[in-house]
Structure 1
Amino acid sequence: MSAQQTPSPAPVLDVRGLSVGYGGGRGGTTQVTHEISFSVAPGEILALVGESGSGKTTTAQAAINLLPQGGQVLAGSIALDGEDVTDASASRWRSLRGRRVGLVPQDPGGSLDPTKRIGDSIAEAFRIHRAAPRRILADRVVELLERVGLDDPVRRAKQYPHELSGGMKQRVLIAGAIALGPGLLIADEPTSALDVTVQRRIMELLDDLRRESGTGILLVTHDLALAGEAADRVLVLQGGRVQEEGTSEVVLGNPTAEYTRRLLADAPTLATPVHRVARTEADRAPDEAPVLAVSDLTVEFGGGFLTRTPVFRAVDGVSFAIPRGTTHALVGESGSGKTTTARAVAAFQGAASGSVTLLGQDVLALRGPARRALRRQVQLVYQNPFGSLDPRQTILESVLEPLTNFGLEASPGARREHAVAALERVSLPAALHRRRPRELSGGQRQRVAIARAIVLHPELLILDEATSALDVTVQAEILRLLDDLQRERGMTYLVISHDLAVVRQIADTVTVLRRGRTVEQGTTAEIFASPQQDYTRDLIASIPGGVHP
């Protein structure tokens, strides 16, 4: 080494030959990852990409000793800042997490204590590590919330998790993870629940952290476009094995593995040609009523006499109609009113004014048995698959349950066949049918939720970020499945999504929402080819890997 050369800094994370397994009881141990090796240098972003079940999250969890019950490191070594922590004690790991390594988990809904205010959850890291005097804790929390892009951070710090949207909760988790300025940040799908503009701000924040503080980042993602834009290097996993590794430019620009080429082919972007033939208002018969008509819908929260809170108008005069057999998308940032509108359509949320007409019925006026009967005709697939499935049931039991509840099919055997067929339609093989939600990946759980919804053959399917947790290959399969179902059965879809590349692929018409109000509305082709409002143009321009107008 010459006098001018300096040694490369030691990696903040160094994983060598890591093999992980589950089980260990009478059934033996099932190995799920096989001799995985990689390192993360200070100031570097390494992306782990691959399908659900490829071992991405398991690898990240093993690296910081957070494997779920039954998981164990079978072989290999793990080092943090040169310290071998493969067999570190539980107390040692408690001192490392938060201060030396931060974690942004995949599931925002299940990762925040519902009994704690947001500010208290973020301040917990400071208290555990005694990292800041009590008198300045409130100011530090507000600074963090502001830094991750939450509006009105003082108000947000006083709220509980159930008062925030999924995207807002994800930003809270990121604020907690970076609170103590750790040298390593493990981000497990950190933007999967975020709209594109917030996604851009979060990735810019992560980029600032690595440049200003030298934070190394292990990014677990199924979003190849995001990995290509954000990461320095990419590690591609399939079935728990490394398929290829290299700079993001080489791996995603000129992949050598057939598996990587297939992932790239399945990833939707604004450059992907649209082969769908849209069916719009003009295509239907003059006397054919829309399946769903929403008129001047207004939804308010707060304002109660006992709470003395001001009225918050979450949805303000929204109107749209969906002809039978078409797909309408509601798009906009987190907090724009998309999910609240969907819940009102499904009769899970009341309204201050306006009307919702589904299949000729006034949804907001339905009560008791009439509302229950309507629920068979409209099904909602939630953004958070883990929270929508009973942890005590196998996935087959979860899909059987709605058939049993509505008394469909003549016999238990017939119901079982129907449920199995629904699971097969969403690419969940028989080997998984006896597993419970905790034994599945996030993407697999979302497929169960979709199977549970379509098993009733509803007239209207509401998809609330239904593909946000899916890797690109399964996402492509689900989108093809939804298109097939629509063509075969004339199904009607209301799609809530922050992924405008997906919206462009599946939607016939679009309503753009901002702060509860309609910004613009029209056919998908019109909105994407010639957006009229700056807000819409900004949404489209924020999509990673796209071709923008």
Structure 2
Amino acid sequence: MSDLLKVTDLSVAYAGRSGSRTVTHGVSFAVAPGEVVALVGESGSGKTTTAQAVIDLLPAGGRVVGGRIELAGEDVTHASARRWRELRGRRVGLIPQDPGASLDPTKRIGDSVAEAFRIHRAAPRRVLGARVEELLDRVGIDDPARRARQYPHELSGGMKQRVLIAAAIALGPGLLIADEPTSALDVTVQRRILDLLEDLRRENGTGILLVTHDLALAADHADRVLVLREGRVQEHGPSAQVLRAPESDYTRRLLADAPTLATPVHRAARTAPDGEQPAVRVRGLSVEFGGHGLGARLRKEQPFRAVDDVSFEIPRGTTHALVGESGSGKTTTARVIAAFQSAASGSVEVLGEDVLTLDSARRRELRRRVQLVYQNPYASLDPRQTILDAVTEPLANFGLEGSAAGRRAHAVQALERVALPAELHHRRPRELSGGQRQRVAIARAIVLHPELLILDEATSALDVTVQAGILRLLDDLQRERGLTYLVISHDLAVVRQIADTVTVLRRGRAVEQSGTAALFADPHEEYTRDLIASIPGKVPS
């Protein structure tokens, strides 16, 4: 049986102000029907560039400068734009990395999913609605008829990623290119999506090129693994062979840095001194959306309760994690703590301040002491600023560190602490990978020396080596400065490694709360047990 995809000696270059720069060098691999091949490696290793070249979606300035790309035996290396319009969607589908940037904010969800049917005239208009709802249901989106009428801003990051997957599989392409398809998803939804992809390859013979920084995921779901570093293949072979007995030092380092339930936890849980006021005290917090205003009252709409009677405390100098599925209320809770979201009821004290009653001046001062690192590095940086300017800006806004030269020196130090090379400091966000942009966002937060850092999926876009470095950095900062962390994460392996205490949220309510070690050793709730069982790379039973 012929390969669905065959890549031979692929080299890709980008044109820049200083000339052409080759970023992948002689990459070769193939994907057979019903096979999953994973491209793994650090941020900037060439994973996404390789995937984009395969489907002729390289960014401006990028071009194939060597090698050959074949789809089902057809040489498409230099195929015309018209031919690619015929191939995309029907022969090969793409699940892109960033759901926030990949969905048209002016289109309803149903229209985005139906687009492939319209482009290829693959279904009559009268059945489009039903087909779209079937696809949304298949990728695990609740109430698909209602969701199809909504816009992207009304969905969580995880739901938007599922919409992209529904659009990619709409026409049943033989080959799927999945670029970090589950990086924004909680573990239970991740498992459902991966089960869906498994069903597609088993039932339809779909071949999958999986681009991922998650080695545990690759170990669980890929038949073969290709390890890339700086655009060159370091290792290639069956996943069991590569990931259990790696030959290259680089692969061994990646595996050593990957957090899983098999990773021993050496960090002792921290506790605050008796009698010390907690950094954060949340009591009976409830947050509602909609159902207010004259129109809503006339329609008799009931408000949606996103957070329902949640309580917890975070002792100073410790790390507390909020975990749960997409839509469980984690980010909403964090936004209240950061004074970006009002509450329907309850109380929230942060660093001795009642955040629900702050005036604008005190709220501004609190936001210097409380920094929030968002999930999406694509949306959190100004595309017009250089990286160094982006990290310098908060110091200027608060009038800190004296002169402009002093502020820039502190910004450089912050960028160095998150391991961003000096040659990237004068580039703009579009010139950086997703993981590199997230490092900039973390540097921008720590440059202000905050007392509380809220990390909303802040390491979800990072490859395992950079993630390990960031986690070590956060641990060092906590020890040096007594920082307090609120971590929001769907990655329970990371939570187990860094958190002292955990609150498990489900549909806005706290269903379990305890010390991290106790929760993982003996979870009381079935929901918590299901979350833990869904973690990829867990210890074999």
Q: TM-score range by the shorter chain?
A: over 0.9
Distance change (3 Å), C-alpha of 1:86 and 1:548? closer
Matches within 5 A, 1:396-415: 396-415=388-407
Check whether the contact 1:541–1:548 (CA below 8 A) recurs between aligned residues: no
In 1, Cα distance between equivalents of 2:207 and 2:529: 33
Deviations 1:509-545 (A, max 9, x none): 0000000000100100111111000000010011011
Matches within 5 A, 1:433-448: 433-448=425-440
**Partner AA of 2:273 in structure 1:** R
Matches within 5 A, 1:333-412: 333-412=325-404
In 2, Cα distance between equivalents of 1:197 and 1:22: 38
Matches within 5 A, 1:411-430: 411-430=403-422
Distance change (3 Å), C-alpha of 1:216 and 1:548? closer
- Tell me which of 467, 473, 476 is aligned to 2:465: 473
In 1, Cα distance between equivalents of 2:322 and 2:273: 21
- Tell me which of 270, 276, 296 is aligned to 2:284: 296
Deviations 1:173-232 (A, max 9, x none): 000000000011000000101111111111110010011111110000011010011001
What's the CA shift for 1:115?
Answer: 0.9
**Partner AA of 2:427 in structure 1:** R
What's the CA shift for 1:355?
Answer: 1.1
- Greater mean alpha carbon deviation, residues 26-35 or residues 461-470: 26-35
Corresponding residue for residue 518 of structure 1? 510
In 1, Cα distance between equivalents of 2:57 and 2:402: 46
Corresponding residue for residue 151 of structure 1? 142
**Partner AA of 2:448 in structure 1:** L
Corresponding residue for residue 211 of structure 2? 220
What's the CA shift for 1:548?
Answer: 7.8
Corresponding residue for residue 315 of structure 1? 307
In 2, Cα distance between equivalents of 1:38 and 1:199: 26
Q: TM-score, normalised by structure 2?
A: 0.98
Matches within 5 A, 1:444-455: 444-455=436-447
Corresponding residue for residue 6 of structure 1? none
- Tell me which of 253, 257, 274 is aligned to 1:266: 257
Corresponding residue for residue 38 of structure 1? 29
Check whether the contact 1:540–1:548 (CA below 8 A) recurs between aligned residues: no
In 2, Cα distance between equivalents of 1:472 and 1:102: 26
Give the gaps of 5 or more residues in structure 2. none
Check if 1:88 corresponds to 2:79. yes
What's the CA shift for 1:285?
Answer: 2.7
What's the CA shift for 1:151?
Answer: 1.2
Deviations 1:408-452 (A, max 9, x none): 011011100100000000000110001111111111010000000
Corresponding residue for residue 319 of structure 2? 327
**Partner AA of 1:325 in structure 2:** G
SS in 1 for 2:99: coil
Check whether the contact 1:209–1:215 (CA below 8 A) recurs between aligned residues: yes
- Greater mean alpha carbon deviation, residues 487-496 or residues 304-313: 304-313
In 2, Cα distance between equivalents of 1:91 and 1:372: 53
Give the gaps of 5 or more residues in structure 1. 1-8
Check if 1:504 corresponds to 2:492. no
SS in 2 for 1:109: helix
Matches within 5 A, 1:87-106: 87-106=78-97
Corresponding residue for residue 68 of structure 2? 77
Check whether the contact 1:270–1:548 (CA below 8 A) recurs between aligned residues: no
**Partner AA of 1:183 in structure 2:** G
In 2, Cα distance between equivalents of 1:91 and 1:475: 41
SS in 1 for 2:102: coil
Check whether the contact 1:382–1:463 (CA below 8 A) recurs between aligned residues: yes
* Identical columns (%): 77
In 1, Cα distance between equivalents of 2:211 and 2:302: 40
Corresponding residue for residue 285 of structure 1? 274
Check whether the contact 1:337–1:513 (CA below 8 A) recurs between aligned residues: yes
Check whether the contact 1:244–1:251 (CA below 8 A) recurs between aligned residues: yes
Matches within 5 A, 1:169-184: 169-184=160-175
**Partner AA of 1:306 in structure 2:** G
SS in 2 for 1:110: helix
What's the CA shift for 1:311?
Answer: 1.3
SS in 1 for 2:78: coil
In 2, Cα distance between equivalents of 1:251 and 1:66: 29
- Tell me which of 181, 184, 194 is aligned to 1:203: 194
Deviations 1:344-396 (A, max 9, x none): 11111111111111111111111322211111011110110010000111111
In 2, Cα distance between equivalents of 1:438 and 1:344: 31
Matches within 5 A, 1:485-496: 485-496=477-488
Corresponding residue for residue 231 of structure 1? 222
Deviations 1:226-280 (A, max 9, x none): 0011001000000100001000010001111110000000000112111111113
Corresponding residue for residue 545 of structure 1? 537
Check if 1:527 corresponds to 2:515. no
**Partner AA of 1:180 in structure 2:** L
SS in 1 for 2:101: coil
For these two proteins, the number of residue pairs brought into alignment is 537
SS in 1 for 2:100: coil
In 2, Cα distance between equivalents of 1:136 and 1:350: 42
**Partner AA of 2:291 in structure 1:** G
Q: TM-score, normalised by structure 1?
A: 0.97
Corresponding residue for residue 3 of structure 1? none
What's the CA shift for 1:306?
Answer: 2.0
